[in-house]
A and B are shown apart, each in its own frame.
Chain A
Amino acid sequence: GAGVSQSPSNKVTEKGKDVELRCDPISGHTALYWYRQRLGQGLEFLIYFQGNSAPDKSGLPSDRFSAERTGESVSTLTIQRTQQEDSAVYLCASSPRDGSYEQYFGPGTRLTVT
């Protein structure tokens, strides 16, 4: 079946602009994660959605970052007033349940802030 998809695959934006990144999880997966990956570094947890529960936003680095998810479907990650330090690959993953089970990752969105 279809895997996790993300769009756009690449995004170049000017400092100060807002960007919206999209994630389509695997159908039926209740858990959805957003991560940030800087070059040569491990994955940095941003936010976690599980079904209709309140999301865990504890990893969001500042109030410029926000994310939404409609039910158990599409999620969007929005970064307002982008800064150069926001440049990174943003990865989305979904899981059939909580973190006890493996996560399935999308290909990521490479964000470059100029």
Chain B
Amino acid sequence: EDQVTQSPEALRLQEGESSSLNCSYTVSGLRGLFWYRQDPGKGPEFLFTLYSAGEEKEKERLKATLTKKESFLHITAPKPEDSATYLCAVRGGDSNYQLIWGAGTKLIIKP
């Protein structure tokens, strides 16, 4: 069964304290791993798509990496405005369009 597990559920950091969020997945034939950011009361906002192991993408203080079993979202020197819930989703080989979503990691950056 295709599955996505994100850890930790919540992460509290001081401003400037770098860390990583984890997304572990089990899927038959990965066809894309997606990272989204969701602010309270809003819909998810697209961040990255990764397609193959070894691929990396960066945007400002965020860098996403991918292996055959998991993806990491590294956040470097975070700021309070980086506080949000970060969602991971995968598309497997059995579906042309359905994504399997993780429950998210709630990131809180204290000033």
Report A's interface with B, CB cutoff 8 A.
4, 31, 33, 40-45, 48, 50, 56, 91, 93, 98-100, 102-108
With a cutoff of 8 Å between Cβ atoms, the chain A residues found around residue B45 in the complex are 105
Q: Kindly state the separation between the CA atoms of A77 and B50 in the bound complex, as whole angstroms.
A: 31
Q: Per-residue 0/1 for B73-111: is the Cβ within 8 Å of any A Cβ (1 yes, 0 no)?
A: 000000000000001010100011111011110000000
Do residues B41 and A107 form an inter-chain contact, with CB atoms below 8 A? yes
**Interface residue tally for chain B (C-beta within 8 Å):** 23
**CB nearest neighbor in A for B91:** A99
Known: A42-B101, A42-B103, A100-B32. A105 touches B43 (CB 8 A): yes
Q: In chain B, residues 44-91, which have Cβ atoms closer than 8 Å to a Cβ of chain A?
A: 44-46, 49, 87, 89, 91
**CB nearest neighbor in B for A100:** B32
The 7 residue pairs across chains A and B that have the minimum distance between CB atoms: A105-B43, A99-B97, A42-B101, A102-B46, A43-B101, A42-B103, A98-B97
Q: Kindly state the separation between the CA atoms of A113 and B104 in the bound complex, as whole angstroms.
A: 25
B25 at the interface (CB under 8 A from A): no
Majority SS of interface residues in chain B? Answer: loop
B87 partner, pick from A42, A45, A102, beta carbons under 8 A: A42
Do residues B102 and A102 form an inter-chain contact, with CB atoms below 8 A? no
Q: Kindly state the separation between the CA atoms of A86 and B32 in the bound complex, as whole angstroms.
A: 30
Query: Which among A31, A33, A44, A105 has the greatest number of chain B C-beta atoms within 10 A?
Result: A105
Distance to closest chain A CB from B2 (angstroms): 12
Do residues A103 and B46 form an inter-chain contact, with CB atoms below 8 A? yes
**CB nearest neighbor in A for B9:** A40
**CB nearest neighbor in A for B45:** A105
Do residues B99 and A45 form an inter-chain contact, with CB atoms below 8 A? yes
Do residues B104 and A42 form an inter-chain contact, with CB atoms below 8 A? yes
Distance to closest chain A CB from B39 (angstroms): 10
**CB nearest neighbor in B for A3:** B43
With a cutoff of 8 Å between Cβ atoms, the chain B residues found around residue A41 in the complex are 103
**CB nearest neighbor in A for B6:** A42
B42 partner, pick from A40, A56, A108, beta carbons under 8 A: A108
